[in-house]
Amino acid sequence: MTAVVGTRMLRKEDPELLTGEARFVDDLVIPGALHLAIVRSPHAHATIKSVDLTAALAQPGVVAAFSGADLRSEWAGPMPCAWPVTEDMLNPEHFPIAVQTACYVGDAVAVVVAETDMAARDAAELVDIDFDVLPAVVDLEDALSDRVLVHEALGTNRSYTWELIPAPEAVEEAFANATHTVVERFVQQRLIPSAMETRGVVAVPAVYGGEFTLYTATQIPHILRVLAALTVGVSESKLRVVAPSVGGGFGSKLDVYAEELLCLALARRLRRPVRWSEDRMENTQATIQGRGMIQHMELAADADGRVTAVRVRLLADMGAYLQLVTPGIPLLGAFLYGGVYDIPAYSFVCTGVFTTKTPTDAYRGAGRPEATYALERAMDALARQVGVDPAEIRRRNYVRADQFPYSSSGGLIFDSGNYEPALTRAMEMAGYDDVRAEQKERRSAGGTKHLGIGLSSYVEMCGLAPSRVLSALRYVAGGWESSTVRFLPTGKVQVVTGTTPHGQGHETSWSMIVADQLGVNPDDVEVLHSDTSIAPHGMDTYGSRSLSVGGTALWLATEKVIEKAKLIAAHQLEVAADDLDYAGGTFTVKGSPDRTMAIGAVAFEAFTAHNLPDGLEPNLEASSHWDPPNFTFPFGTHICVVEVDEETGKVDVLKYVAVDDCGTQINPLIIEGQVHGGIVQGAAQALFEEAIYDDDGNLITSSLADYLVPSAADFPSMQTDTTVTPSPTNPMGVKGVGEAGTIAAAPAVMNAIIDALSPFGITDIDMPATPQRIWTAIQQAGGTNGGPR
């Protein structure tokens, strides 16, 4: 059998998605289900004085309606936060539905349950709530002043301060001795993840058996099962969580959400299935948002531009409450503010701050895009100071290939890397020298359309996560993954995985791994996932972990299957196990190429159990639980070429080149797709997207008409390539690729824009770089009409 790993195998998932046969939560037909509508606070901050449900209850079709106080007794505990990042972190207790105070626009304050969705929504409009409006606090620095407290009882808006300063004196010394220092303040605007499928939930009770099935559009059925059981107070063994087809997540479905707990609690209370379907406005307000930071970034460098220290201070916007991993998001970037560079001294401090806005949490890249952005913007600033090309400043500072495994000053061990070839290749593909030459020509010609070239080199830490490291970071669970592989009697293979794909194509990639290991056709491999009854052990999908952790668990399980099969084959062929070779699904007696046994035949023998070695159990099946010894460290360089029209401020992306290294590749087709999608999401942060709040805490961008998710017309086709530096962290050498594009793209695009505007003396533009912002910056710099002055 020829190897399939490394080929561009088409996805097994596609036919059912292409034909409408796939079932998303909203597509599930659940007889007798009631519909939940949620009344949400129209105020960013308000005390709930009274909730009058009378009019809503009188509506036809309405079955029940409740306030937060009515439902308080349903909760065995408050909403969970799994990452108390410091011992003294402040975490305001909150419940799936506000009891006394609403703390952001969209906070749930009452619920209506009716026979139809329309009846529930109509009645929800009639719930009469008397609010006492409190002042909002929207701006991060304002929040830190404690002028307005989000949670009176805490006495402060500061949730925590977390530090990573391994050698403080070294940092001080580096800055004292620096020839060049870069001091920058960057704003990471809030983003709305905007998966195309909004969230949906159905809770189905088995009234006599006492079980519940929770169908939900989630990335984390396993984590959710544990925490929903604890929060709602049902037995974990009576709760089955199923994620059917899920229409994208990007971190926004990596949470334990109020609506999941509400459906579950109401199904228990009303003894009927309860379903909820999020509309897009709710998705912008009640689903977590991403980013939301102010970054103070400093570099110290010697005369040649070699960076000697990095010092970072962050303010991170938690929003109104701590969701599942809200406080930990900045920590996922905390180790990477030195990026791909060999920087000896490191200082990172982050303060988490409450505001009266939607909670933040993981959004594609989670902490790492923020780190890469600040560093790559600062590296360009350094290049300008030193007077060298951005490519040269990067070359001078890269960790060299012979330094791996590399101990970073931030305290991580980078498993493998080779940074310069990715840069060189990207420059080749971009025609870097030609574009620079054209830029020079245009500048001397003095036109109004300015060329800019932006680079960004990145390294990410993926494969979340070594459990011991998680423990050191005070995360409450482990980071392993699990898989079971079993042969069925006819030689087909069933795989059970604890990962939860929602667009990543695990069924395809996992089948490819098994096909090569067990010598079967990938079409004969069935991959089961995303249902806690079928796959009881799992840590789900996020942080580019699925392949490097889940794929490794799978690989190890196939090894165990082969090991057992070998014992049976040896018995059947009447030789010692050591006398067998194994390749491509066939055992061969060493030195006798005609004496063979296919693993499928072994599987049948294992099934009939007629003639097994003494003491060996029937069937070919094995499980593995893999806890990675380290993270993996994918890397690469992206280059963006833009044209900025000084008369309109409009940016046209002319060219986008990406060279990524995610280690060994299972399916290049899927890898490219992940990179493309990531790049456009990252570029969208640079160019279009921002969750805008007014001073009263109202979200202005609460629809897809106001929040500018890019369309096909907004970005060009991309040129991608890869280098391959296998990871020594796992046996396949894989690293992960789900977040790479998002991490690299925003700084590449912004560096290009600033490069284009440099003749005006402009060195900073906030994201998103809208035409308005750029035009204003040019005006303030005294530009336009006839080009730079």
Partner 1 sequence: MKVAMTINGTSQEHEIEARVLLVQFIRDVAGLTGTNVGCDTTSCGTCTVLLDGESVKSCTVLAVQADGAEIMTIEGLADPGTLHPMQEAFRENHALQCGFCTPGMVLAAVSLLKENAHPSEQEVRSALEGNLCRCTGYHNIVKAILAAADAAGAEVPA
The residue ranges that bind partner 1 (CB under 8 A) are: 10-11, 13-15, 17-24, 26-27, 29, 118, 194-198, 245-248, 250, 279-281, 502-505, 669-670, 672-674, 676-681, 703-705, 709, 711-713, 715, 717-718, 741
Question: Nearer to partner 1 by C-beta: 674 or 729?
Answer: 674
Min CB(57)–partner 1 separation in Å = 22
Strand 212-216 to 239-242 pairing: parallel
Residue 26 binding partner per list partner 1, ligand FES, none, with a CB distance cut-off of 5 to 8 Å that depends on partner kind: partner 1
Question: Nearer to ligand FES by C-beta: 14 or 652?
Answer: 14
Question: Nearer to partner 1 by C-beta: 119 or 568?
Answer: 119
* Spatial CA neighbour of 158 closest among 326, 401, 351: 351
Interacting residue with ligand FES among 58, 196, 616, 700 (CB under 6 A): 196
Min CB(665)–partner 1 separation in Å = 14
Min CB(603)–partner 1 separation in Å = 30
> What's the order of all strands across the beta sheet hosting 212-216?
62-67, 108-114, 34-40, 274-277, 200-205, 212-216, 239-242
Min CB(161)–partner 1 separation in Å = 34
Residue 608 binding partner per list partner 1, ligand FES, none, with a CB distance cut-off of 5 to 8 Å that depends on partner kind: none
Question: Nearer to partner 1 by C-beta: 150 or 675?
Answer: 675
Q: State which of positions 252-271 bind ligand FES (CB under 6 A).
A: none
Interacting residue with ligand FES among 61, 166, 248, 421 (CB under 6 A): 248
Residue 23 binding partner per list partner 1, ligand FES, none, with a CB distance cut-off of 5 to 8 Å that depends on partner kind: partner 1
Do residues 280 and 222 lie in contact, with contact meaning Cβ atoms separated by under 8 Å? Answer: no
Quick one: tokens of 701? 């961008």
Cis peptide before 768 (omega within 30 of 0): yes
Beta-ladder partners of 445 = none
Strand 525-528 to 580-583 pairing: unpaired
Treating both helix axes as pointing N-terminal to C-terminal, what angle do 419-430 and 390-397 enclose, rounded to 10 degrees?
A: 160
Which residues are within 8 A (CB) of 187 and not within 5 positions of it... i.e. 6 or more apart? 293, 294, 295, 766, 767
Min CB(17)–ligand FES separation in Å = 8
Quick one: tokens of 304? 């040649």
Min CB(683)–ligand FES separation in Å = 16
Question: Nearer to partner 1 by C-beta: 79 or 243?
Answer: 243
CA distance 500 to 552: 15
Tally of CB atoms within 10 A around 490: 10
Give phi and psi for 118, each to the nearest 5: -65, -45
Residue 2 binding partner per list ligand FES, partner 1, none, with a CB distance cut-off of 5 to 8 Å that depends on partner kind: none
Question: Nearer to ligand FES by C-beta: 121 or 443?
Answer: 121
Question: Nearer to partner 1 by C-beta: 358 or 720?
Answer: 720
Min CB(540)–partner 1 separation in Å = 16
Write the DSSP symbol of residue 762.
-
CA distance 595 to 598: 10
Question: Nearer to partner 1 by C-beta: 118 or 576?
Answer: 118
Alpha helices by DSSP H, listed for 297-344, are 329-334
Residue 718 binding partner per list partner 1, ligand FES, none, with a CB distance cut-off of 5 to 8 Å that depends on partner kind: partner 1
Min CB(117)–partner 1 separation in Å = 9
Nearest residue to ligand FES on Cβ basis: 196
Residue 18 binding partner per list partner 1, ligand FES, none, with a CB distance cut-off of 5 to 8 Å that depends on partner kind: partner 1
Residue 170 binding partner per list partner 1, ligand FES, none, with a CB distance cut-off of 5 to 8 Å that depends on partner kind: none
Question: Nearer to partner 1 by C-beta: 118 or 472?
Answer: 118
Residue 369 binding partner per list ligand FES, partner 1, none, with a CB distance cut-off of 5 to 8 Å that depends on partner kind: none
CA distance 741 to 719: 12
**Residue 623 CB burial class (10 angstroms; 0-12, 13-18, ≥19):** middle
- For 786, left (φ over 0), alpha (ψ -120 to 50), or beta? left
Tally of CB atoms within 10 A around 785: 8
Question: Nearer to ligand FES by C-beta: 196 or 700?
Answer: 196
Min CB(373)–ligand FES separation in Å = 24
Cis peptide before 405 (omega within 30 of 0): yes
* Spatial CA neighbour of 663 closest among 740, 725, 722: 725
Question: Nearer to partner 1 by C-beta: 269 or 676?
Answer: 676
Question: Nearer to ligand FES by C-beta: 199 or 377?
Answer: 199
Angle (nearest 5°) at CA 251 between 98 and 459: 140
Question: Nearer to ligand FES by C-beta: 14 or 304?
Answer: 14
Buried b (16+ CB within 10 A) or exposed e, 448-476: bebbbbbbbbbbbbbbbbbeebbeeebbe
Min CB(216)–partner 1 separation in Å = 15
Instruction: State the Rg of the chain over Cα.
Output: 28
Residue 679 binding partner per list ligand FES, partner 1, none, with a CB distance cut-off of 5 to 8 Å that depends on partner kind: partner 1
Interacting residue with ligand FES among 68, 96, 290, 503 (CB under 6 A): 503
* Spatial CA neighbour of 483 closest among 422, 533, 431, 552: 552
Residue 785 binding partner per list ligand FES, partner 1, none, with a CB distance cut-off of 5 to 8 Å that depends on partner kind: none
Min CB(671)–ligand FES separation in Å = 16
Site membership for ligand FES, residue 724 (CB under 6 A): no
Beta-ladder partners of 639 = 455, 657
Contact set with ligand FES (CB under 6 A)? 196, 248, 503
